[in-house]
């Protein structure tokens, strides 16, 4: 695993100020000012001048796709919880932000509801929120706004890009996916739905197997399994690892039977071809019990009312979330650091459906943007510049916690690194991210700011057993190097880094 270091030159002028949130060219802890009002009777203002190499186009929290769009959005929103320094500033803590306290576990109160069984643990929580959250026009925000925002995020007609925020990953809201896909027929993955084994299936006409509910079952040969293989296909792995992991002869016979979707009807004959592919080596399942992971079946999601979804408002300032799988502690809080909140009246005004085609222009211009975070958008000129100023209705300001000294942010579109560096040296930008060509000149500067972060480019294993034994002996007791020669271990690492 490699540690990436983001290096910036920071212009130090007058006095420093600190702000939080995403940034394009400026790390949050290095904001400085180059503007101060001359009139003593007026409050001081502090402007951060930054630049971006790519320009945002859509920052609707339900559909944005790029990091650039996210950078713009981050200044204007916040989550129920956030990261802050711990008391002695030696690490971090996840603390309430829009919430007033940690989630309250009420799982035992909802047994028999939302599909929770007697043995359910850590699956139902109440989140109490602040009563002074407002939009930048002063409109109050309550629990019903959060629920209505999630309802629009999961709008079956919209099929929003970010809808999987509520059902993919650690936090899976009960019936979120079912509500999104209601009325639609899709290929359901056996690994994450009804886990059918061969003995659970029935043989229909033509020898194809059917599920207990009567849906035809297929082998996912070249079909992308989103949750089981992370969006890859089994064919991807066969192509990458070949004979080292698979019986490629039977695989070729099976692959030839796949339809244009990459599916093969499950029959006794195709099962006989498929079994040697995955059970021929321990890395892909030691028994035939693992094969149903690659079953998919066509399922039609029933119509569903929002009352069945595990995201409800209990009062103006209490939100109930019910999870399909247990979650607690850090991972629960971490899952609640983001937000899908939208301003309902503006969002609905930006929505249209023409000839069955859904469109939404929310978060594409100054006029279609609303903020409830520390800053608000004040101007937006496509492919030129956008600006912010402090949001006067941000709740932390009302607490006397005016922790954001920067009053204005100006971000210019400057795609060329050389131009950004020239502007920085002229004092027109307050920060500049160094490129590899700048390192010799500036890497040792006292004005460099280093921000470490983790990223993995690749990992190489030495498969030579004798070499590993030698290295293991040299490393001393309790060091295991030879594990790197095991195919199953290396494969597990490859999937972990996929």
Confidence tier at 226 by pLDDT (50, 70, 90): confident
Confidence tier at 4 by pLDDT (50, 70, 90): very low
Taking only Cα atoms into account, the Rg of the chain, rounded to an integer number of angstroms, comes to: 27
Confidence tier at 86 by pLDDT (50, 70, 90): confident
Region 112-130: mean pLDDT is 97
Q: What is the mean pLDDT of the chain?
A: 85
Region 62-72: mean pLDDT is 94
Give the residue from 374, 346, 340, 338 showing the smallest Cα distance to 61.
Answer: 340
- For residues 95 and 290, give the distance between their C-alpha atoms in angstroms, rounded to a whole number: 41
Please state, in angstroms and as integers, the Cα–Cα distance from residue 45 to each residue in 19, 89, 430, following that order: 14, 28, 15
417-459: pLDDT as tens digits = 999 999 999 999 999 988 888 988 988 888 888 877 666 666 7
Please, which residues have CB within 8 angstroms of residue 362's CB and are 6 or more apart in sequence? Answer: 60, 62, 342, 346, 347, 350, 351, 368, 369
Q: Of the ranges 65-69, 235-239, 252-256, 321-325, which one carries the lowest mean pLDDT score?
A: 235-239
Q: Of the ranges 45-54, 226-235, 365-374, which one carries the lowest mean pLDDT score?
A: 226-235
- For residues 162 and 472, give the distance between their C-alpha atoms in angstroms, rounded to a whole number: 47
- Can you give the pLDDT at residue 28? 37
For the ranges 270-279, 324-333, 457-466, the one whose mean pLDDT is highest: 324-333
241-296: pLDDT as tens digits = 666 666 677 888 888 999 999 999 999 999 888 887 766 555 555 456 667 778 89
Domain ranges of the chain: 83-184+303-344, 185-300, 465-496
- For residues 373 and 316, give the distance between their C-alpha atoms in angstroms, rounded to a whole number: 20
In Å, the largest CA–CA distance within the chain is: 87
- Given a cut of 80, whether residue 193 has pLDDT beyond it is no
- For residues 39 and 152, give the distance between their C-alpha atoms in angstroms, rounded to a whole number: 47
- Given a cut of 90, whether residue 26 has pLDDT beyond it is no
Confidence tier at 23 by pLDDT (50, 70, 90): very low
- Can you give the pLDDT at residue 478? 79
- Can you give the pLDDT at residue 468? 81
Q: Find how far residue 397's CA is from the centre of its chain.
A: 29
Tokens of residue 76, six digits? 């204007």
Confidence tier at 494 by pLDDT (50, 70, 90): confident
Give the residue, 396 or 398, on which the prediction is more confident. 396
Q: Of the ranges 250-259, 302-311, 396-405, which one carries the lowest mean pLDDT score?
A: 396-405
- Can you give the pLDDT at residue 194? 54
Please state, in angstroms and as integers, the Cα–Cα distance from residue 495 to each residue in 126, 198, 207, 284, 329, following that order: 35, 27, 35, 12, 26
Please, which residues have CB within 8 angstroms of residue 315's CB and are 6 or more apart in sequence? Answer: 143
Region 172-179: mean pLDDT is 95
Strand segments, DSSP code E, in 243-400 are 263-265, 295-300, 311-315, 318-322, 351-354, 357-360, 375-381, 385-390
- Given a cut of 80, whether residue 366 has pLDDT beyond it is yes
Quick one: fold of 83-184+303-344? Answer: Dipeptide-binding Protein; domain 1 (3.90.76)
């Amino acid at each position: 695993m490699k540690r990436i270091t983001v290096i910036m030159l920071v212009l130090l002028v007058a006095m420093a100020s600190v702000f939080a949130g995403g940034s394009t060219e400026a790390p949050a802890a290095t904001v400085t000012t180059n503007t101060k009002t001359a009139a003593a009777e007026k409050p001081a203002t502090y402007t951060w001048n930054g630049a971006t190499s790519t320009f945002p186009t859509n920052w609707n929290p339900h559909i944005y796709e790029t990091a650039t769009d996210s950078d713009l959005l981050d200044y204007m929103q916040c989550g129920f919880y956030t990261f802050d320094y711990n008391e002695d500033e030696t690490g971090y803590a996840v603390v309430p932000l829009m919430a007033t306290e940690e989630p309250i576990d009420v799982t035992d109160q909802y047994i028999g509801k939302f599909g929770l069984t007697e043995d359910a643990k850590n699956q139902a929580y109440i989140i109490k929120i602040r009563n002074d959250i407002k939009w930048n026009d002063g409109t109050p925000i309550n629990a019903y706004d959060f629920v209505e925002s999630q309802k629009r995020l999961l709008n079956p007609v919209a099929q929003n890009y970010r809808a999987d925020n509520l059902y993919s990953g650690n936090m899976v809201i009960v019936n979120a996916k079912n509500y999104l896909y209601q009325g639609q027929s899709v290929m359901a993955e056996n690994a994450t739905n009804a886990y059918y084994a061969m003995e659970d299936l029935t043989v229909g006409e033509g020898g194809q197997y059917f599920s207990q509910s009567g849906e035809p079952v297929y082998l996912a040969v070249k079909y992308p399994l989103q949750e089981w293989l992370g969006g890859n296909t089994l064919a991807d792995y066969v192509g990458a690892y070949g004979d080292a992991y698979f019986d490629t002869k039977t695989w070729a016979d099976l692959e030839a039977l796949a339809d244009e979707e990459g599916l093969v009807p499950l029959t006794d004959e195709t099962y006989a071809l498929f079994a040697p592919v995955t059970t021929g080596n321990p890395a892909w399942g030691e028994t035939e019990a693992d094969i149903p992971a690659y079953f998919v079946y066509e399922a039609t999601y029933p119509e569903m009312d929002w009352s069945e979804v595990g995201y409800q408002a209990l009062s103006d300032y209490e939100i109930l979330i019910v999870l399909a799988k247990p979650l607690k502690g850090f991972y629960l809080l971490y899952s609640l650091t983001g937000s899908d909140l939208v301003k309902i009246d503006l969002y609905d005004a930006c929505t249209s459906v023409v000839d069955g085609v859904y469109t939404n222009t929310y978060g594409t211009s100054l006029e279609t943007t609303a903020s409830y975070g520390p800053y608000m958008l004040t101007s937006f000129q496509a492919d030129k510049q956008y600006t912010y100023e402090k949001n006067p209705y941000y709740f932390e300001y009302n607490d006397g916690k005016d922790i954001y000294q920067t009053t204005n942010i100006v971000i210019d579109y400057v795609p060329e690194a050389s131009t950004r560096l020239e502007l920085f040296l002229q004092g027109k930008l307050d920060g500049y991210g160094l490129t590899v060509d700048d390192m010799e000149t500036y890497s040792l500067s006292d004005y460099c700011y280093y921000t470490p972060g983790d990223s993995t480019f690749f990992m190489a294993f030495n498969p030579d057993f004798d070499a590993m034994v030698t290295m293991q002996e040299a490393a001393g007791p309790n060091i295991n190097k030879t594990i790197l020669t095991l195919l199953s271990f290396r494969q597990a690492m490859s999937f972990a880094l996929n």
